[in-house]
Each structure stands twice: as C-alpha cells, then as structure tokens.
A and B are shown apart, each in its own frame.
Chain A
Amino acid sequence: MSDRIMSASAALAEALHEEMARDETIFILGEDLTAHAGIFGQFKGIPEKFPGRILDTPISEAAIAGCGVGSALTGMRPIVDFHFSDFVTCGMDEFCNQAAKIRYMFGGQVKLPMVVWCPDGAGLRAAAQHSQSLEAWFVHTPGLKVVVPSEPADVKGLMKASIRDDDPVMFFQHKRLFRREGHVPADPEFIIPLGRAAVKRPGKDVSLLTYGSGFFLCMDAALELAKEGIDAEVVDLRSLKPLDMETVAASVKKTFRAVIVHEACVTGGFGAELAARIQAELFDHLDAPVLRVGAKDVPIPFSPPMEDFVLPKPADVIAAVKTVCYR
C-alpha cells in the first residue's frame, strides 16, 4: 500500500476512526467536541460515525480528567481531549496524583488505559495561557507516558500505539502543526511503538535530538548547515517516556556532538534530563559540551515581535551547532 499526503489533523482523525471501529470500549470526552468535530476539526466524521462515543462535557477539567481515570479503571479506554494543554493545571490532581499512581500504589491490581490529548505549543499569538509546552512536567511524574509527535505519520502511528497501550499516556500535539501535511502510510496496522525514536535525517557531524515542533526547526537548520559543510543528523525522539536512549546513543557515538532542541523553555526542560543522561552514559564519546536550544525563560508574550523573539528559531539551532563544532 502506498503512502498518502495528509495533514496532521487528518492523520489523527484516521487513527481514531480505525481504533474506534476496532474496539468499542474506546470513547472520546472533552469540551466542545461535536459542534465542529473538535475545536481544531480534529475529530472530523467521528460524531456522525460513532454517535454516543464522543461526549461533550461541561467546562469542568477536574471532572473530565476524573471521568477518564474512573472509566479507564472500570473497563473503558477513554481518550480525554483537554482543549488546550495549558489547562492541564485544572486536572493536575487527576493526572499526577490519581492516573499516574493508581496502578503502582495499589500494587499493580489494575490497568489504566487512558490517552490525554493535549494540543500545545506557541506561535499562534495566543499568549501566555494558550501557548505552553508542558511535557517536562509529566516526564517528571513516574507512572505517566509522554508522547510528542511531529509529522502526520507520527501523529497517526503514535496515537494508535497510545490508544492500545494499557497505561496512561499524555499526548502532546502542536497546534501550529495541525495543517502541516506529510506522507502517511495507508496500512491500517501502521503503528509506531512508544519508545522508538527515528533518525529522520542521517548525518555525521552533529546529533540534533528533538521532538514535536523542534523537529521542523532542526530540519530547516540542517539544510542551512549542509550549505556550510556541516552534516547534521536529526533524531526525532517521538516519545519522551519511554525514551529510546539506544537510538540517541548510536547517533552521539557517531557524531560525538549533541544539541537538544525543543520549543519548551530551556530551564528544567526535557533537554536538561537528556543532557544529563548523555553526559553520564556517553561522556567518553563527546567532543564538546551538550547544548540546549529552547524558548527563553518567560511566559509566552502576545505581541508578535516579542513572541518571535522568545521562541527558538533555526538560527538558534545553527548557532548552537557551530559552537559544538567549534566553527
């Protein structure tokens, strides 16, 4: 079967259609889902095809998250739409104290198959409370899996894997990338297992370790770097927990240099965790310090010149690469 070109939103919808047809315990709940098939049109065709299995809720994030947890504990496979990832703060107890801990603190008695779909990221002039990248909070909470796709095929393959996983998965998908198109395999059994990174651009001089929107920054930067004779390898991590450290290690052992790129602000971000692991596990293979590229440590500002200034750009990736390559 050949690939098709489709948007990330269409890829998500296709994953949901296929999985919901396969397993009738899967259902979707969240705010404002049926009127426009999701506020980003991400659930196209689902209200018509699966009536009663996509539920509009009141604006009650704690109860929405709790409904996900409680239904997952009692035989269902909920997909919780959280509207904007920024609102996770209103369901934080349900995610971090309940979902993350229930299986463990009850001694493994039960499974909790829930996917929390969190549209995240900046660049839409949506300001401080609708633009964040919060994945690191959840990586820091044992008991949750954290997935951050970039291209449409990743969205589809990772969503299908997340739905079939018996553990709670926080699924962050960048809002600015919904319409971005890409190749998506037609095989309905196309699945990307959690914890498997992809080397999307092989290179020999430096490893760009990235995920989500950072992937596109890295690809743009790699094109520019190639013109200057620097051959960058781009590794799309795709899932942060579980993390594919093997692929990271293989890349760093080849290039001896690593730059970690994400849209989230730098301090305490996932890059800190990955940099720590690289220096601990691959110290002998490094020819330069591991550098991080991310947003500046402020809330995302509204006015376009300020938002653009705060977010990481390909030029920042290029500058970091030149530093580690001593160029």
Chain B
Amino acid sequence: MSTDKKKLLEMYRTMVTIRQFETMAGEYFAAGQIPGFIHLSIGQEGSSTGVCSCLRPDDYVATTHRGHGHMIAKGADLKRMVAELFGKVTGYCKGKGGSMHIADFSIGILGANGVVAGGLPLIAGAGLSIKLRKTDQVAVVFFGDGASNRGPVHEAMNMAAIWKLPVLFVVENNQWASTTPQGYACALGDLCQRAAGYNMPGYSVDGNDVLAVRETTLKAVAAARQGEGPSMIENKTYRIRGHFEGDPQKYRDQAEVLTWQEKNDPIRRFEEHLVKSQILTKKKSKVIWDEVKAELDAALEFAQSSPYPKPEDALQDLFVNA
C-alpha cells in the first residue's frame, strides 16, 4: 500500500512531536513544575501515529492514562495540552483534568482515561451512535496489555461484534502493565488471539514499524466504514519509561530497556526507511526536529505565562443545567 511522500513526512513529524513533547514533559515533571503523575509513551510513537494517520477529524478516539501520543497524533493543540499538564486555566480542561484527563471533542478525542480499560465500553457507545446516526465515521480505542485482562474489554468487544459496530480495538502491548510483565498476566502469546472469541479479525503487528501499523489500520478502518464491523489490532511495542515518571523500576532489567531503545526505536527505524527511500535527508530531518522544538518552546512559553485557574473555578462545569 503506497502512502505519498507528504503524508510520510507528516507522520515523521508527528512522531518527532510526540517524542519531544514527552521528553519535555518528563523533564518539567522531574523539575517539579508539572504536578501529579504523568505516564509517558516514549518508544510507542509508531502505534499512535500509524493508527491515527488513517483517521479523519470526525472519527473518534478514546485513549488511556498514557495518552499524550494519541492526542497529538489525532491533531490536538500543543499549547492547550502543555497548559493542561501545568494545571493552567488555558489548558484543554481549564486545569481540571491534567495529564490523565485530556480531551478535545472538537476533533473527536473522547478523552484520556484514568481507569484502565475505561475507554472500551465508551467506544462501543460511540460506535453504536455512529451506527444509529448512519454516518461512516469510525471509533478507535487504545488500551494496554494490562487493560486487556479486564472484564469490560470482553463486554465491549462482544457488543461491538454482535452489532457490527465501526470500532477498532487497538491494544498496545508494551510488555509491562505497571510492574507486571505481560507474559505473567495473560496466557496468550499474541493478544490479537482474543479477537477470535468475538469472530472479528485480529492482527498482531510490529508496533514499532509505523508503516506496518498504518497498513493494518487502513484495512481495518476501511472494513469498519463499509459496515463490516470491528477489528482488533495488537501493536507489539515496548514501554521505554517507567509506568509513571519517577518509577524506580526495580522489577525489570535495564538491559532489556536499553536493547529496545537502541535497536528498536520506532522513530529511528522510520527515519532510516525515509532516508533510504530518498524522502528524507539528515539535513531535512534536523530541520523538522528544530521546527518541532520551536513549536514546543512556544507551547511551553504559552503554558508557563498562563495563569492558574481561580480556586473557586473548581465549582464550575459540573452540570449543563445546574
């Protein structure tokens, strides 16, 4: 499946943006400027970018506590994202959500979710809504290998299957559910095997190969738009950072992390492919990294110079009809 040069460069820029955004977030969190907890998806940019590269602005995405990448890949505004991480009134949620609860309903992002697997029942509802409204949108939910063991996953996948809802279940198998290795918590080798239980197509993909992710997603999205029902995609990847920033990670061998980082970085792999295909040069790549850096610096400046919400703003936004 061929993807034009412009789209490929756009995807590369998206991956670079996610990487730099999260690197920045990690640094500012460590410096004490970002309150609370943050969960980074560094090393998983191939999954978020590959999947979202196949979506339209009116398609829906529900994401997770590790959701910055999905947000950026779906087109979220960096300024409002950074401001939300900093707890500022100019953030996406006016400071009420933070890293784990960012949403942009204007571009179909139904929200990050602090409850593991919380997005799956919701995405079945978005899929049902699409079917009832008779549009050709699709609804995508990202979840992790840890989430895949929760009960609502079964209920949502079964529901989507019996009603042939236009839903993509994208499990990002990053090998670690907090401190628990995937192989310990689930008897399956490939998580996509679960799809068979719902009579839906299931694909296991090298999640660090953004083009492989895109190719599989295009197939699943096309099927969903044509009314053929849901699919499951397992993007096999790896969580480079701890479960949360500051995680001492005593449960895993750092050599394992280094191997993935050095030998299987999705951005480096894609860059090498683009250079080999004469779509990108080292020089052009540097320009992209610099441009993204400038954009992020502007977002940071926006966030840092923005005011905090007034304390009593905490009492707003509960009900439409108060």
Contact = CB atoms under 8 A, between A and B. Distances in A.
Interface string B137-168: 00100000000000110011011001000000
Contact of B321 (A53, A63, A166): A166
A103 interface: yes
Interface string A122-151: 000000000000000000001101000000
A220 interface: no
Interface in A101-122: 102-111
Contacts of B101: 105-106
Contacts of B115: 93, 97-98
Contact of A75 (B97, B123, B133): B133
A62 B123 contact: no
B133 A76 contact: yes
A107 B91 CA distance: 9
Given A27-B132, A63-B152, A74 B126 contact: yes
Given A67-B125, A97-B118, A104-B96, A111 B159 contact: no
Interface stretch (B65-73, B271-279, B312-320): B312-320
B129 A63 contact: no
Interface string B93-104: 111110001111
A46 interface: no
A71 B96 contact: no
A63 B159 contact: yes
A72 interface: yes
B155 A62 contact: yes
Contacts of B316: 108
Contact of B96 (A52, A69, A97, A106): A106
Contact of A108 (B91, B94, B102, B127): B94
Contact of B318 (A55, A71, A93, A104): A104
Contacts of B211: none
A65 interface: yes
A145 B91 CA distance: 27
B60 interface: yes
B85 interface: no
Nearest to A111: B320
Q: Specify which of B95, B125, B132, B316 lies most central, judged by the most chain A CB atoms within 10 Å of its CB.
A: B125
A57 interface: yes
Nearest to A241: B319
Interface string A35-78: 00000000000000000110101101111011111111111101
B158 A94 contact: no
A55 B139 CA distance: 20
A165 interface: yes
Contact of A70 (B96, B114, B122): B122
A158 to B, nearest CB: 14
B125 A71 contact: yes
| Interface size range on A against B | 35 or more
Interface residues of B, number: 48
Contacts of A61: 155
A167 interface: yes
Contact of A74 (B121, B130, B159): B130
Contacts of A105: 93, 96-97, 101
A69 B129 contact: no
Contact of B125 (A58, A68, A109): A68
A110 B103 CA distance: 10
Interface in A203-220: none
A67 B94 contact: no
A61 B124 CA distance: 13
B155 A75 contact: no
A71 B317 contact: no
B152 A62 contact: yes
Contacts of A70: 62, 110, 121-129, 139
Contacts of B162: 58
A107 B317 contact: yes
Given A65-B121, A73-B125, A74-B126, A109 B103 contact: yes
Contacts of A110: 103, 105
A72 B152 CA distance: 19
Contacts of B129: 70-71, 74-76
Contacts of B130: 74
A142 to B, nearest CB: 6
Contacts of B96: 104-107
B131 to A, nearest CB: 10
B168 to A, nearest CB: 14
Q: Specify which of B103, B123, B321 lies most central, judged by the most chain A CB atoms within 10 Å of its CB.
A: B321
Contacts of A76: 128-129, 132-133
A167 B320 contact: yes
Given A63-B155, A67-B159, A73-B110, A142 B318 contact: yes
Given A71-B125, A107-B94, A57 B111 contact: no
Interface in B20-52: none
B92 interface: yes
B120 interface: yes
B211 to A, nearest CB: 30
A145 B319 contact: yes
B97 A107 contact: yes
Contacts of A194: 321
Nearest to B150: A62
A97 B111 CA distance: 13
Interface of A: 27, 29, 52-53, 55, 57-58, 60-63, 65-76, 78, 93-94, 97-98, 102-111, 142-143, 145, 165-167, 194, 242
11 contacts: A62-B156, A63-B158, A67-B128, A73-B105, A74-B130, A97-B114, A104-B96, A105-B93, A107-B92, A109-B92, A110-B103
Top 4 A-B pairs ranked by shortest CB distance? A66-B121, A70-B125, A108-B317, A107-B93
Interface of B: 60, 62, 91-97, 101-105, 110-111, 113-115, 118, 120-130, 132-133, 139, 151-152, 155-156, 158-159, 162, 316-322
